[in-house]
Structure 1
Amino acid sequence: MWAFGLAVLLLATGHAQADDRDQPLARAAYDACVPADAASIAVEKSEEDGVFVAPSGQRYLASELHVPAPRPKGALSAAGLVVGAAPGLEAVATGPENRWGLTPAWIVLKDGETRELLQAVRLMSGAAVFAPDREDSVCAGLLRLAETAARREQRGLWGDKMAAPVYSAARPGLLEEKTGDYVIVKGRVVSLGKTESTRYLNFGKYWKTDFTVTLKASDEAIFDAALGRSGWQVEELAGKFVELRGFVQVRDGPHMALHHPEQLVVLEHPAFD
């Protein structure tokens, strides 16, 4: 937990310069996210954004990130400068190769004995959005913190209102226009519903047109465990203001399916409920 505490302290220090906070947070993210005994392999940046190639030809994708398109001016160049300045790059696989021949991985910036996590660097520069897929707990908290720093200081895509993928759950028509996009949605849960296989978070009274979020009933315990760290459970979310992230689909109105507990965050504190 020391890494998360250090990063929170650095982010909260208002008089510190942004660049002064970047390296400690990126190092803390490396310590929290990359297993100490994990095997790594040297890679080089490819022409595909977020893809890195090993000498064998194996391609690695920087996991836990989503880059909105079109990208804002400055976001890509900022990330490129960081990578270009690093003496070495390593990939640590986080899962099996996907259907496109890409292996999700942590990408490590290596400089002598120093190790920094590229994912944290890109999030702090505003070059990407945190897209939780595998990691949770301290690691996910640090990556979310890195994104929060960029959002607060309006770096990269967060400095361009047209590029920042943040929308209100109260505007289902606009959300429906974003079908197929990875977005962040904020809104108040109007009601909850459930069937034997599915849990529903309803953000309006009319399910055929309003925004709806679902998660599998079999995943509810996992979501409860994650929400429990801040004092909540899924069954208590009616009336709560939340933030969600994921791909928008259309299913009798805009819809988002949650597969990972870090896709859902309550923006209220139970002590003030």
Structure 2
Amino acid sequence: MFGSRLSSRGLLAAALFFLASFDVAHAAPCQFEEQGEGHVAEVIDGKSFRLSDGSEIKLVGIEPTGATRAERIAALSTIIADKDVSLRWGDDTPDRYGRQGAMVFVAPSGTLVQGLLLSEGTALVSTEITDKDCAASLSAAEATARTAKKGAWAGSAVIKNAESADDILAGIGRFMLVEGRVVSVHQSGAVTYLNFGRRWTRDFAATISRRNVAAVESAGMALKSLENRRIRVRGWVEAHPGPRIEVVRSGQIEVLGGN
């Protein structure tokens, strides 16, 4: 009788543990719609790989930081080479290169690949994640590497100084983090400029088109309030003619402090 009662209690405890684990797993960040699973056959570059069925997968939410293609491949290979993975994302439409975007989880642990790369300092949070909980989780992983000075964060080259326009211009077409004090917030036509210098045609600026202002200010950050504040901006660098980063959502701007 005692053994039977103990067994019943054990089964009940196991059932409760399973349910709790189930709830936690489904409440975790970046748990988007299931898009399938497969076995990794080849790592193509720092953010894409090929499954054994021939389909190509692109890691969403990050940009690799490796100095060379070989370094980027090595960083991703360490995590997923010859592993089974599961895919989650809200859209299974391939990009123009035929790659399916996804949050990728290593089986059977369920560890998020993007989170591992970020926490090791071999990737940066990109600008494409709109889900706030997922974006916060990825940012926390990146902050872990930054605090520990791991990977790319071991040096000072990751974040560019907004006052060094030529240095930023050298990275045209690349994903970059730029930090500095906003000298002025100026609107011209349908575009708002966060100017980091007085020479508007030469110095670095972040630009926000009118259609994106609401999305950028959705976190309670009014653009005008950024004047004379130190901020960090992330995104793809363009030249118009000075270096520019277009901001389309609030996650691209991080307020660092006061004047």
Cα distance in 1, alignment partners of residues 52 and 76 from structure 2: 23
Out of 77, 81, 84, the residue aligned to residue 80 of structure 1 is 77
State the 1:236 CA deviation. Answer: 1.2
SS of residue matched to 2:167: helix
Task: Tell me: CA distance 1:243–1:30, structure 2 relative to 1, closer, same or farther (3 Å).
Answer: farther
Alignment partner, residue 260 of structure 1 = 249
How does 1:166-245 map onto structure 2 within 5 Å? 166-226=159-219, 228=220, 232-245=221-234
- Amino acid aligned to 1:155: K
| Partners of 1:76 and 1:127 within 8 A in 2 | no
Alignment partner, residue 134 of structure 1 = 129
Q: Which residues of structure 2 form unaligned runs of 5+?
A: 1-23
TM-score, normalised via structure 2 length: 0.80
Task: Tell me: CA distance 1:57–1:110, structure 2 relative to 1, closer, same or farther (3 Å).
Answer: same
Q: CA RMSD in A?
A: 2.6
State the 1:30 CA deviation. Answer: 8.7
Q: Which residues of structure 1 form unaligned runs of 5+?
A: 1-26
State the 1:186 CA deviation. Answer: 0.5
SS of residue matched to 2:110: strand
State the 1:45 CA deviation. Answer: 4.8
**Matched-pair identity in %:** 23
SS of residue matched to 1:247: strand
State the 1:78 CA deviation. Answer: 5.0
Task: Tell me: CA distance 1:145–1:87, structure 2 relative to 1, closer, same or farther (3 Å).
Answer: same
Bigger RCO of structures 1 and 2 (CA < 8 A, at least 6 apart): 1
With 72-81 and 243-252 compared, the bigger mean Cα shift is at: 72-81
State the 1:245 CA deviation. Answer: 0.7
How does 1:89-128 map onto structure 2 within 5 Å? 89-95=85-91, 96-111=93-108, 114-128=109-123
| Partners of 1:42 and 1:89 within 8 A in 2 | yes
With 233-242 and 41-50 compared, the bigger mean Cα shift is at: 41-50
For the pair shown, which has the larger CA radius of gyration, 1 or 2? 2
Cα distance in 2, alignment partners of residues 30 and 41 from structure 1: 20
| Partners of 1:207 and 1:252 within 8 A in 2 | no
| Partners of 2:34 and 2:87 within 8 A in 1 | no
Alignment partner, residue 51 of structure 1 = 48
Q: Deviations over 1:185-218 (max 9, x none)?
A: 0111110111342111111111011111101111
Q: Deviations over 1:8-28 (max 9, x none)?
A: xxxxxxxxxxxxxxxxxxx98
Cα distance in 2, alignment partners of residues 134 and 193 from structure 1: 27
SS of residue matched to 2:29: helix
SS of residue matched to 1:225: helix
| Partners of 1:124 and 1:146 within 8 A in 2 | yes
| Partners of 1:29 and 1:120 within 8 A in 2 | no
Alignment partner, residue 60 of structure 2 = 63
Q: Deviations over 1:96-142 (max 9, x none)?
A: 2111111211111121xx31111001111111111121334121111
State the 1:260 CA deviation. Answer: 3.0
Q: How many residues align?
A: 234
Task: Tell me: CA distance 1:263–1:189, structure 2 relative to 1, closer, same or farther (3 Å).
Answer: same
Alignment pair present for 1:33 and 2:33? no
Q: Deviations over 1:55-105 (max 9, x none)?
A: 542211001111135249977545433324x85212224432111111211
| Partners of 1:184 and 1:246 within 8 A in 2 | yes
Cα distance in 2, alignment partners of residues 266 and 101 from structure 1: 37
Cα distance in 2, alignment partners of residues 30 and 126 from structure 1: 26
Alignment partner, residue 42 of structure 1 = 38
